[in-house]
Homo-oligomer: A and B are copies of this chain.
Amino acid sequence: MPYVNIKITREGVTAERKARLIAGVTELLREVLDKNPATTVVVIDEVDTDNWGIGGETVTVRRARGF
Residue numbers of A with Cβ under 8 A of B are 1-9, 13, 15, 17-29, 31-33, 35, 37-47, 50-61
Contacts of A23 on B, CB cut-off 8 Å? 53, 56-57
A13 to B47, CA, bound (A): 15
Residues from chain B with Cβ under 8 Å of A53 in the complex: 19, 22-23, 25-26, 40-44
Contacts of A33 on B, CB cut-off 8 Å?
A: 8, 13, 17, 21
11 A-B Cβ contacts within 8 A?
A: A3-B3, A3-B6, A3-B41, A4-B7, A19-B53, A20-B32, A23-B53, A41-B53, A41-B54, A42-B54, A44-B47
Contact of A7 among B6, B19, B43 (CB under 8 A): B43
